[in-house]
A and B are shown apart, each in its own frame.
Chain A
Amino acid sequence: MKNEQIHLVRDVLDHLMIDKKDDSMGRVDGMVIVDEEGKQPKVLELQGGIVVLGERLGKRIGRWVRLAAMKWGLVRGKRTRVAWKDVRWIEIEVKVDVDGDQTPALEWEHWLGENVISKLPRSK
């Protein structure tokens, strides 16, 4: 990425992630920043998923969401993690050099396609 200032909350958080195939892979629901003593804090990874969103709403809600996701979720509450080094550019969307199909982000998309949509009459 170009050597420029990035406003993490304004320009990254809650923005759409686009994978290397130009497909949507959810939003940047959270970020992990590493703060090592004596060093500049840096962004380690972007995170996505319902568990991350639950945590943003509060500790109690976050715990309930995590338990529900672990019990009923397809990926058992696993977060989508995109390392900062895989971020290619940031405009209104965040382009990442990751295949969304290989992450938990699109599990429900695939599962619904194989187990529900395919059993219904053919759509357009």
Chain B
Amino acid sequence: MKKYFEVALGIVTSRGGFLEVGSMATAAQAGAGFGYQLLWPILLGTICLIFLMEMAGRMAAICHHPLPSAVRERFGFNYFVIPLVAQSAVDFLVLSSEVGGMSLGLQLLSGIGFQWWAVPSAILVWLLLWKGNFSWIEYGVSFLGLLTVVFVVAAVKMKPEWVAGARGLVPSLPRHDKIHYWFLAVSILGATISPFLFNFYSSGAVEDEWDEKDLGVNRATAGFGMGFGGLISMAVLVAAAAVLHPKGMEVEKFEQIALVVSTPLGRWGYWIVAAGIFIACLGAALELSLDAAYVYSQCFGWAWGENKSARDATRFSSIYSLFILVSPILLLIGVDPMKLTMFSMALTVVILPFVVLPFLVLMNDPQHVKEHRNGRIGNTVMFLVIVMAAVLAVVAIPLEIFGGK
């Protein structure tokens, strides 16, 4: 019974970090601009993520070393310095976006401009990491983030065109605004297959002291948890497609996202979505801060762990403190949170090949995964993800320049 409860809790809370400012912004823009046509990158991204998360959890459970640590050991510092530098830049930008998302959630709740909330939001993130432990983040905040299920309720209430929605799950060519369409497709994939998600998941598996007995839990959590997160992302797109697209409305400001819930659900829907946005972005900000600290600590072999006190892992806690300290800067100098988010999602895609390629090697290395190596399906999926990631990395920046709005 305890095991089933653990699995259920894991599924419900593992979508924490999945639905965040990037996935909300890209899905809303996609739904408003192209109706149901861009459901397929969310589906594709979710399937890829499920495989990657399961592998990250499996490796951590077998060798008790998380992904960044294993990449450093297997590929050396000369290779690892590339994802280290790239991920530092992306983590900073995405963390700034998430603090922006938190601030916008608070703006929706209070009416006070988001820039006033940037520093208090960052302080809250820091306090939760400083005073809390891994369970708080894994269960507490993620559980509250279930408020984002309001997007699913809103989508269903709008009685969307299910047939058109089903067609949107299959890749199709855009009828207009071709460059913007592909920019959104790339951004959605970047928002979905975020390296911080599987770095965080594998480090969390080590913090939770997973071992071979937990492989079943890992599979269920990765599969159903990420599936659940993907479903909520799709709901954002479907709701935007049903509410905004018929009127030809584009999403240029994050505040417009509240309309996709207030239209079918009214005032209570507005308050819930505002709170949900705040909490979802808070969860993602916590994960991103920890991810930066995990990557640095595991790269250089420092003591690490959210369950450790700051005195027992001083460099680890200093890194996440530093990232959180600088996270409000871009917002305070006036960078638009929506533009920051779209830019950082496209950039996430650029570092994807550097993170996923070593993964393929590690999942076939008996030193790390013993007899739990990838089968043919796993390796095929990984190979396809690497090819896709390489293509996306090449086209992401030109699309950002010519197709980003």
Contact = CB atoms under 8 A, between A and B. Distances in A.
Given A117-B310, A120-B310, A14 B315 contact: no
Which of A108, A116, A124 has the most B CB atoms < 10 Å from its CB?
A: A124
A113 interface: yes
Contact of A14 (B76, B131, B302): B76
A6 B315 CA distance: 31
Interface string B46-79: 0000000000000000011100010011101110
B380 interface: no
Which of A16, A17, A121 has the most B CB atoms < 10 Å from its CB?
A: A16
B209 to A, nearest CB: 15
Given A24-B302, A27-B72, A92 B314 contact: no
A113 B130 CA distance: 14
A101 interface: no
A14 B76 CA distance: 6
A8 B317 CA distance: 32
B314 A116 contact: yes
A15 interface: yes
Contacts of A69: none
B73 A56 contact: no
Given A120-B310, A124-B130, A26 B317 contact: no
Interface residues of B, number: 29
Contact of A109 (B131, B302, B367): B302
Contact of A112 (B131, B300, B318): B318
Interface residues of A, number: 30
Nearest to A30: B77
Contact of B311 (A10, A27, A48, A117): A117
B132 interface: yes
Given A57-B81, A109-B303, A124 B315 contact: no
Interface string B72-113: 111011100100000000000000000000000000000000
Contacts of B309: 123-124
Contact of A23 (B63, B132, B303): B303
A15 B77 CA distance: 10
Interface string B296-321: 00001111100001110011011000
Interface in A5-26: 9-10, 13-17, 23-26
Interface in A80-121: 92, 108-110, 112-113, 116-118, 120-121
A44 interface: no
Contacts of B304: 24
A118 B312 CA distance: 11
Contacts of A48: 301
A10 B362 CA distance: 13
Contacts of B368: 92
Contacts of B74: 14
Given A57-B81, A92-B65, A92-B73, A112 B367 contact: no
Contacts of A116: 314, 318
Contacts of B72: 14, 27
Contact of B131 (A13, A56, A124): A124
Given A14-B74, A57-B78, A113-B314, 7 more contacts: A14-B76, A16-B69, A29-B77, A112-B314, A117-B317, A118-B311, A123-B317
Q: Which 9 A-B pairs rank lowest in CB-CB distance, beginning with the nearest?
A: A123-B310, A27-B301, A112-B314, A26-B301, A113-B314, A16-B301, A123-B130, A117-B310, A123-B309
Interface of B: 63-65, 69, 72-74, 76-78, 81, 130-133, 300-304, 309-311, 314-315, 317-318, 367-368
Interface of A: 9-10, 13-17, 23-27, 29, 48, 53, 56-57, 92, 108-110, 112-113, 116-118, 120-121, 123-124
13 contacts: A16-B301, A24-B303, A27-B72, A27-B301, A57-B78, A109-B302, A110-B314, A112-B315, A117-B311, A117-B317, A117-B318, A120-B310, A124-B133
